[in-house]
């Protein structure tokens, strides 16, 4: 793509800088404002079809005894927390 390695390095740094600006939209020096942050578990709990799927998944994971080991998403809550949320709502 770039013949000059230095230009390629600068272009890569620029792409990462632009990417990080979009990712850290809600993060300020005071803390996280919630702007630009989504909570997919809340959307899943509100959808009837996804709730049914989550209930089935939690039941199967509970049967295998790995409910606390599996997370909802990459850094989301563990599935035992999701199961408690399903019961609460």
How confident is the model over 46-73, as pLDDT tens digits?
888 999 999 999 999 999 999 999 998 8
Domain assignments of the chain as residue spans, ordered by start: 1-37, 40-88
Q: Decide: 14 and 21 in contact? Cβ < 8 Å.
A: no
Residue 38: pLDDT over 70:
no
The residues with which 27 forms a beta bridge, in sequence order, are: 32
* CA-closest candidate to residue 79, choices 52, 39, 60: 60
- Report pLDDT for 37: 47
How far is it, in rounded angstroms, from Cα 38 to Cα 28?
Answer: 16
How far is it, in rounded angstroms, from Cα 72 to Cα 82?
Answer: 8
Q: Decide: 44 and 50 in contact? Cβ < 8 Å.
A: yes
């Amino acid at each position: 793509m770039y013949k000059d390695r230095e230009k390629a390095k600068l272009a890569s740094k620029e792409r990462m800088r632009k990417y990080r600006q979009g990712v850290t939209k809600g993060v300020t020096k005071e803390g996280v404002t919630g702007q630009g942050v989504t909570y997919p578990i809340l959307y899943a709990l509100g959808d009837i079809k996804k709730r049914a799927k989550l209930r089935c998944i939690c039941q199967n994971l509970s049967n295998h005894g790995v409910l606390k080991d599996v997370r909802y998403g990459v850094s989301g809550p563990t599935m035992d927390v999701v199961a408690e949320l399903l019961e609460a709502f």
